[in-house]
Structure 1
Amino acid sequence: MDRPGSDTLFAGSIPELYDSHLVPLIFEPYAADLARRVAARDPSRVLETAAGTGVVTRAMARALPAHAELVATDLNQPMLDRGAAVGTQRPVTWQQADATRLPFDDASFDIVVCQFGVMFFPDKVGAFAEARRVLRHGGALLFNVWDRIEENEFAHTVTTALAGVFPADPPLFMARTPHGYFDRAAISRDLADAGFSVTPRFETVAARSRAVSARVPAIAYCQGTPLRSEIEARSGAGLAEATSACAAAIAERFGAGPVDGKIQAHIVIAQS
């Protein structure tokens, strides 16, 4: 049985593989989208939670007006270290922080932004309440979440392939966590419970995930996410064998050369 607590652990070789494989595969299109939405509001101070290795941070550093201050936080220091090492074209404050216990004053940010992070928060209402606490009056929380796994073709193919490799105990990290918080009604309830009184706005955005070969997404998902820990905890097949099985499944579905699959997410805007 996998422990959900391990879903939030991004350490070891995961940050580097996450940044080199998963970021260009699925995160960059939505990072540019989110950065444009933030910049359009002309904020003076922006807080990013669950910043990871900084794909949105870098996009916002390019898109935000020169006067805007940007603070990027994440629970996992190794992810922030990777983001800081890659760097940004303008100064950014990188700070380790738990989104459910933010170390910032009340009403100190115009916008709180989070890309594909809220699914990992064990206390989503608490994290939303903290975002609301640090927002100034009239500010906004902008975040995105992955849609159901069936709408995200590489993730679905990998999960199905691993169920064949480990039929007695399939690794379900992708379905359980990254793709486990897509229901609009549930998200709206959590935001209301956190004190957001204005009905949130949702927009569903589909994009394409492309790679030069089937092996790239197989490595990205199997070795660049906490799915790796689930695979390594099982007997019967090692990480390399499981990764190869996923690559074969992706190639069978999308072709032996460059691969192209659908990804889909919800963008959520909650006004304070």
Structure 2
Amino acid sequence: MGAGSPTSPDAQFHAGIAEVYQRLLVPMIFEEPAEHLARVVAETTPSDILETAAGTGVLTRALAHSCPDARLTATDLSESMLDTARGQDAGDVRWRQADALDLPYGDEEFDVVVCQFGVMFLPDRVRGLREARRVLRPGGTLAYTVWDRIETSEVPWVVHSALVTATPHEPLDFMSRLPHGYFHVPHLRDDLEEAGMPDATIRSLAGTSRTTAAEAAEAFCHGTPLRLAIERHSTMELEEATRIAEDALRRHFGPDPIEAPTRWIEVVARRPA
């Protein structure tokens, strides 16, 4: 999801990334958490939902199914991601380009703000949480997910380890640093408290990613901002990185298909009434 500021290169998504993201990453790692988070939101019986960092709309589509009577607004910083999302069948959704750090909405407009795997990309996470609180009505719900430590999600861990090993003097550590770098529960609670939302339930959830070695290598190297890190690297080329990742996956998992554990953290916080 394109959650960062326009000047943050680690969170940029161009059209090529968005296409691979939707085609390969969404079914591999995003659909299962989206369905779970949508059920959590549905339990609040919302009337007005704002989604930030919506990406290509995997959670948006799950929310449209789980909350058919709610007014659903989906935003993302990246127009490329939104263009891909608009091409999916999400129903009656209000799509809008927006920065999660400076939402273009008035105070207390929504009873739910939801974000799947976007908060960790925010250059200022507390500011983003405060913005969510600002647009929430009193008693409203903020629900979001972040990835657990990278070692608990086996496929990205294998890709990450192979690329870091291959680049010892300039490590390609994007995956552990950002997507899987915001998982310490005390840190999550501190940020929520600083943002004025200390009443929160935080839990770790487990799922299964299903893929092949070739698809997973392409997904992470071509369909995430890791691609930008590779393209900026002084010695590594994109196709070489993809080959290294695929070879490592085949050595680790053996013949296709791959079924591997994945783990994420789900946060549900309430704005004080």
Query: What TM-score do the two structures reach when normalised by structure 2?
Result: 0.94
1:238 counterpart residue number: 237
Unaligned 5+ residue runs, structure 2? 1-6
Q: Are the counterparts in 2 of residues 174 and 227 from structure 1 also a CA contact under 8 Å?
A: yes
Q: Are the counterparts in 2 of residues 116 and 145 from structure 1 also a CA contact under 8 Å?
A: yes
Shift of 1:118: 0.1
Q: Map 1:169-248 onto structure 2 (within 5 A).
A: 169-198=170-199, 200-211=200-211, 213-248=212-247
Identity of aligned residues (%): 47
Distance in 1 separating the partners of 2:179 and 2:235: 25
Q: Are the counterparts in 2 of residues 207 and 263 from structure 1 also a CA contact under 8 Å?
A: yes
1:81 counterpart residue number: 83
Runs of 4+ in 1 over 6 A off after TM superposition: none
Unaligned 5+ residue runs, structure 1? none
Aligned-CA RMSD value: 1.2
2:13 counterpart residue number: 10
1:104 counterpart residue number: 105
Mark the CA change 1:236 to 1:73 in structure 2 (over 3 Å): closer, same or farther: same
Q: Are the counterparts in 1 of residues 189 and 198 from structure 2 also a CA contact under 8 Å?
A: no
Distance in 2 separating the partners of 1:204 and 1:167: 32
Mark the CA change 1:266 to 1:245 in structure 2 (over 3 Å): closer, same or farther: same
Q: Are the counterparts in 1 of residues 73 and 96 from structure 2 also a CA contact under 8 Å?
A: yes
1:93 counterpart residue number: 94
Query: What TM-score do the two structures reach when normalised by structure 1?
Result: 0.95
Deviations 1:92-148 (A, max 9, x none): 000011111111111110100000000001111111011001111111100011000
1:113 counterpart residue number: 114
2:4 counterpart residue number: none
Shift of 1:11: 0.8
Shift of 1:232: 1.6
1:34 aligns with 2:33: no
2:264 counterpart residue number: 265
Shift of 1:245: 1.0
